[in-house]
Every structure is written in C-alpha cells, then in structure tokens.
Structure 1
Amino acid sequence: MTKYRNLWLAGVSLASAATMSAPAALAAPTPEQVAEAALRAAPVWDGHNDVPEQLRERRKDVLAGFDFRDTTRTADPAKDEQAMHTDLARLRKGHVGAQFWSVYVSAALDDQHAVQATLEQIDVTRRLVAAYPGDLQLATSAADVEKAMKAGRIASLIGMEGGHSIGGSLGVLRQMYALGARYMTLTHFKNTPWADSATDKPEHDGLTDFGRDVVREMQRIGMLVDLSHTSEATMMDTLAVARAPVIFSHSNARAINHHTRNASDTVLKALAANGGIIMVNVFPTYVVEETRQWNAVRAGEKARLEALYIGEPEAAAKGLKDWEAAHPMPRGAIKDVADNIDHIVAVSGIDHVGLGGDFDGVGTTVVGMEDVSTYPALFAELARRGHSQADLEKIASGNMLRVMKAAEAYAAAHRADPPIESPTAF
C-alpha cells in the first residue's frame, strides 16, 4: 500500500507541477480589442458623408488653399460655421476604408439648375479625390473598393442625394452613372414629380409609373436605389418593384425614433426579404425620440413667440434663444445609435445593417460621435453588448460589399436589356 501511495503522491506532485508551469489561461479580449480586430479586418464603409456640400457652401467648390489632411480649424464663428467633421487624419483614426461622398444639391432648385449643380458636385468630388492619391481612390465598383482597401487607400464612391438631381430624365440618370454616381436617393426633403418624400405633403401615394421606371432603370444599369428621406409609401412601392438589393444610406429604426424618414418594422422586414441594407446615422433628431419630441416643442414655442411679437422679429428671436438656453436639446449618446442597430438586427437580421453617419451634413451629433474618428467607440459598445467580431465585420463593411456585388450581378445579368426610354420634356 505504501508503494502505491507513494506512486499516487508522486503523480499528484507531477500534475501539480505541470499545472503550475502551464501558462495562465488567456484573458478574454476586451470590447475595445474585439472592435479593433473587426475594424482592421473589415474597415468601415460609410454610406453618407456631406464633405462635397461643405465645399460648395464654404468655398464655392474652390479647392485652392483647402487642406483635407486636417480640417479641425475650419470653424468660422462670423458665418456661424462649425469645424468640419471629416478629414484624412480622422478618417484613418476612425478606420474608414470606404466612403460614399454625397453630391447633395438643394431640392428647391429647378430641374436645370439641379442637374448643373449635381454635375458641379460630382466634379469637385472627383477633383478632391484626385488631389490626394496616396489616401483616396475613386471607386465605381465593389472590386474597386476591395482593391483600394487592400492598397491602404480610402475607396471614394459618389452618391446623389435626391431624385431632383436628374431633372426628370432617364437620359440624365444614365449620364450621371457614366460620371461615377453609384447611388441615388429617390427624394430629399421635398417630393419629386415622381416620388413622395417623408417630409413633404403626399402627392403620389409613393411612386408614380415613371418613378417605378426610374427604379427599374437604376437597377438595370447597376445604380443603387437609396430610400433614405422617402415616405413609407415610396419605400414599400420601391421594394415591390426592386429585383436587386436596395439601400438606406443614412436612416434609423422608426420603432426607436418615430421620425417619418426612419424605417418601420414593416419596411425592415421587406428590406430583409429584398436583401438590402439600412445604414444607421448619428443625427440626434433621427436617432433619439426625445430629441424629435424636443424639436416639436421648440417649433411650437417659435410659433408662439412669432405670434406674440408680430412685427418684432428681434424680440421673437431673443425669446427663442432664451428658451433654448433654458431647455437645451437632448443629444443622446453612442448607446442610442447602438439601440437602433440592435433593433434593426432583431427585426431584419445581422446581414441588413450598416453605417451612414451623415457627418458634415448635420449641425450636431450624438455625444461621443462628434466626427468620423469615433467609429471605434461605437464598435466597442456593440462588442460590449455581445456582438461577435464576425457580426461587427458585417456591420462595418461586409454587408455593404455584399449588397453592391448583388446589384452589380443583377446589372450584368440584364446588360442586354434595352434602356427604358422616356420622351424629353422640351
């Protein structure tokens, strides 16, 4: 017995020694580490950034003297202009690997001026990209995006914000595509003659017959259909017509924030069936319900003051300024953006959500996402909530890459189809 007991004790001793000498179990990665790994594997593909609008408003599209490497000192209090949200240094810090630059022009322009202004915005975007060949690379396809990312450059794509940009012409639409535009938002703040906006009085109950042809022709040539800013009727009409995936370049979940330009659960389910993607933005009015409610109360107070001080605009303006000081706008935070993402995932699935910050197109953002450098903080929050690295890679760019490839595949399969024709207006 002693012999066997000694052998047993020796075994225990050896096992203990082995245990003591084995390396300690690796600690689980932190949310920040999961986010970093995801963003290195799949950099952010942002669906909407308004730097071209800033170039038009601030500089009349003149790039001489403009330094896109650092725009942190571009604030001009005399013109009530804050510093821009975007520059090359902060895009790098934010792990942005692909960007849809929005060539937005005012929806108040008539057809001819809207077309001209859109051409000018495409031109300034292409000139900006060409000015920084070491950092930016023009992309007109999914393959271009992958090539740019592999080379360490930021793939730069062009998106038109508002169907008024084509002046009611399918011929103009095709030429915009030839110049590099790869999505078009069907409306902006106002209806077009063929589609209803979310923020205008309904005219068409969604799309007209010509509007359906616009969607068909966009998909035939491979231009992504963007449903941000459209009415729910337009969203559903488009999803009924679409045969390739569509996008929402910068929208949120209506169940979280009831703004009319956000997507309802009904729309989100139809979007999943379509194979499309909704790219979440950071504008508090669209992200946070409390902010939307604040805006409504502010509008009421503004109307009250203007009625109270008829003929005294300065008094009304002072009164509103005093009210705002006493009732600051709730901005929300990163968690509110994550709430929108989580809701979309719950309704549509992880394959149908992405990011479209709307940076440089809005005056304020949620706290913690003040510029394009802040995406890692959002991804850390999502990791903290249990999203895997694989999930985060899909949200960052994997989903958008899949959608664009699917749209291109549909266009390739229909390359022999004749263009949809419509008569000229004059």
Structure 2
Amino acid sequence: MWASWLLWPLMAVCAADSFRDQAERIMRDKPVIDGHNDLPWQLLSLFNNRLQDPKANLTTLANTHTNIPKLRAGFVGGQFWSAYTPCDTQNKDAVRRTLEQMDVIHRMCQAYPETFLCVTNSTGIRQAFQEGKVASLIGVEGGHSIDSSLGVLRAFYHLGMRYLTLTHSCNTPWADNWLVDKGDDKAQSHGLSPFGKRVVKEMNRLGVIIDLAHVSVATMKTALQLSKAPVIFSHSSAYSLCANRRNVPDDVLLLVKQTESLVMVNFYNDYVSCQKEAKLLQVADHLDYIKKVAGAGAVGFGGDFDGVSRLPEGLEDVSKYPDLIAELLRRNWTEAEVRGALADNLLRVFEAVEEASNHMQTPEEEPIPLDKLGSSCRTQYGYSEASSFHCPWRALLASLTALIFSLCLL
C-alpha cells in the first residue's frame, strides 16, 4: 500500500515529462508563430537602435524577454515584430519614428541571417520553417503611425508592413481605441469614420492584415463586418475571464468565429488575471475559452513579450512556449488543434488576406478631410489654395502682435 502511494509522485512527473516531450516533438515540425513581440522597442529604448553596441548583441542580450537562445529554446519559428511608436508622436514625428522601427527589424535580419529571415508572405513563413530560421514579419502597432495618409499606408506596405493595428491607446482621427470603452477617452468616430472605412478597404486591397488589438468594441465590430478578409487580434485575451477592455467580449468572439478570424492570446498579467500576479494555467484558460466560444481555428499566441512589465509564472520569457503547449496537451487538445494554434491558424488567415488582395484594383485615394486632422502645424498642399500652413497658433500670435503694436500707438 505504502509503495503505491510513493509511486504517485513519480507517475505524475513521468506524465508531465511525457506532455513536454510531446510538445517539443510537435514544435520541431510546427514551431510557434507569435503575433506580437516588442523587442524592437527595447532596442530603441536601451540602445537607440544601435545594433553594433556590444550590449545589443542578440545572442547574449540580457534583461529582456527575448534573445536568440530563448527564441530557439521556445521553438519560435515565426514572429511579427512590432514597429511601435507611442501615442505622443501622433501629429508629430510618428511616421519617422515608425520608419526607424521598421528599419531596425530589417537590420536584425541582416545582422543575424543565420537566425532571422525577413519575409512578407505566407510562402516566406513556410520557407523559414524549412530553413530552421525565425520568419520575421513587421506589424505596425497603432494607426497614428500612418498619420491619416493612405499614401503612407501604401508606402509602409512596400517596406514590408503586413499588419496594422488600427489604434494603440489613443484615438486616431478615423478610429476609436479601447480606452473609449473604459471611459477614459471620448468616442470620436463611433468605431470607424468614413476615412477609417477607406483605410480598411485599402488594407484589404493591399493584403495587409487588419489587427484589432487596442481598438474599441465598436471599431472591432465595424471592421469585422466591413473587411473582406479575416482579421486578427495580435495580442488580446478573453474578456469573460478578465474584464479588461483590452480583451475580446463574447459577442465579438462570435463574429471572429463567423469571419474565420483569429485571437492571439496576450500573456500580460493584467489581461490574463486582471491582477498583478498570474500563472501559465490561467493563460491556458483563455486559450480554452476562446476555443470553446469561437472554435479551435480562432486561437493563436500573441505573448506581448518585451512590451509588458508583468508576465505569468511559468511564462517569463519566449523560451517557455513548450510548457504552455504541454499544458494544452494535458487538457486534451488534439495534436491538430495544437498545430493550428501554433501556426496553421495564422497561416490560414494570412493566405486568406493574400487571396482577397487585388493590386489591380484602383487604390483608395480620397484623403481625410483637413478639419479632421490634428491642430499641430501642417502644410495643406492639395486641400485648398489658401496659405500653405495650417498653424492656428501662428495666426493667434500674429493677431496678438498686431494688437500689442496698435495699443503701443495709443
């Protein structure tokens, strides 16, 4: 009797090892494609994008969630790197800052060709898998990065952008962000403005994946209903398990199922448990829940590594992916469902976006109305034959100067 009790811990350990071994076996053939990683932001913050700084060596990079050995240990075979610039760049230097972040992603591929392969399509991802490299794609995080310009959107596409997050944590002049639902921001577009709808249509035409992480529920629903191709949530979780407005509510999950779209689960504690602490098991709960409501084809991974300050116990960095896959297997996910979450679901969405694209179609070209743009200093070429500057503060300064001068003459 005592001998049988002593065997139980040993049997549990063996079972755990079995699931881990199975996870690694699957991932050797089907590595994970992660929807969102902010390593480029860390390279800017820590090194001002100077990749030749010895401390920026991605093989030995310390104090980040991501480096090359960790990517290898985590069986990461595809990564959407985030070209992110904060909301305080809106109406300022957002385009320049975004270009710099896109540039550093390209330079990562050039500096480490044995590890990274910059790709722009689903075929490229499969090629990287075959070569044992990390397929590296660019996701631009925040619609403010295009500065309300369809021309900039197209230019970003030509430079490699393959998803655009419609907002970050601020409204753009054409789309509302998640803080509207929280009550911190006021709705301006009530989802998407007429120009915002043109942005979505142009993304469909180009073959850019529409990313609805960070947007308001109204924006989610409008985009899901308007898009001719499936969309993604590159790093969001399930609202019913954690009532944070960054997460996806059930009625939207049903639209995700209907449109064959994808929710790539975020690992940030605040979106997993709605508390400062979280565990790997709770991330698996979100994956289970989305699978239950939207189907196994709607599930993916968007860890948000190097973009968040708190991560669950057991998911401290990108090397921990096999432990999460082992937990899904322990929960009776089939191998096909696991392979879908790892890569096949994202590849299906990407291929559908590519199929829906039509570069022969006439581009959207109606610009956003000038009065919808921010009040910062802008040229207004093309809008009218009026003064080429739109700077209210300059006009105010001129009026005040004239008033002071006239008073001095009295």
Q: TM-score range by the shorter chain?
A: 0.7 to 0.9
Q: Which of 216, 223, 226 is the aligned partner of 2:208? A: 223
Q: 1:112: how far off?
A: 4.4
Q: Which of 83, 92, 111 is the aligned partner of 1:103? A: 83
Larger Rg: 1
Does residue 351 of structure 1 match 2:297? yes
Is the 8 Å Cα contact of residues 111 and 168 (structure 1) preserved in structure 2? Answer: no
Counterpart of 2:366? 422
The number of aligned residues is 349
Does residue 370 of structure 1 match 2:299? no
1:20-419 correspondence runs (5 A): 30-65=18-53, 66-72=56-62, 83-199=63-179, 200-289=185-274, 291=275, 329=276, 331-411=277-357, 414-419=358-363
Is the 8 Å Cα contact of residues 195 and 367 (structure 2) preserved in structure 1? Answer: no
Pair 28,362 (structure 1): closer, same or farther in 2 beyond 3 Å = closer
| 1:29-62 deviation per Cα after TM superposition (whole angstroms, max 9, x unaligned) | 9222321222122100000000110111111111
Q: Structure 2 unaligned runs (5+)?
A: 1-14, 180-184, 371-379, 381-410
Of structures 1 and 2, the one scoring higher in RCO (CA 8 A, sep 6+) is: 1
Distance 1:110 1:204 in 2: 17
Is the 8 Å Cα contact of residues 33 and 342 (structure 2) preserved in structure 1? Answer: yes
Distance 1:226 1:129 in 2: 24
Kindly provide the amino acid, as one letter, of the partner of residue 70 in structure 1: T
SS at match of 2:102: helix
| 1:233-289 deviation per Cα after TM superposition (whole angstroms, max 9, x unaligned) | 000010110110100000000011111111111101101111110100110001113
Is the 8 Å Cα contact of residues 111 and 166 (structure 1) preserved in structure 2? Answer: no
Distance 2:35 2:42 in 1: 17
SS at match of 2:105: helix
Distance 1:28 1:170 in 2: 51
Is the 8 Å Cα contact of residues 245 and 406 (structure 1) preserved in structure 2? Answer: yes
Is the 8 Å Cα contact of residues 37 and 389 (structure 1) preserved in structure 2? Answer: no
Q: Percent identity?
A: 44
Pairwise CA RMSD: 1.4
Distance 1:228 1:369 in 2: 21
SS at match of 1:103: strand
Q: Structure 1 unaligned runs (5+)?
A: 1-26, 73-82, 292-328
Q: 1:337: how far off?
A: 0.3
SS at match of 1:351: helix
The TM-score normalised by the length of structure 1 is: 0.80
Is the 8 Å Cα contact of residues 111 and 165 (structure 1) preserved in structure 2? Answer: no
SS at match of 2:79: strand
Distance 1:171 1:111 in 2: 16
Is the 8 Å Cα contact of residues 34 and 389 (structure 1) preserved in structure 2? Answer: no
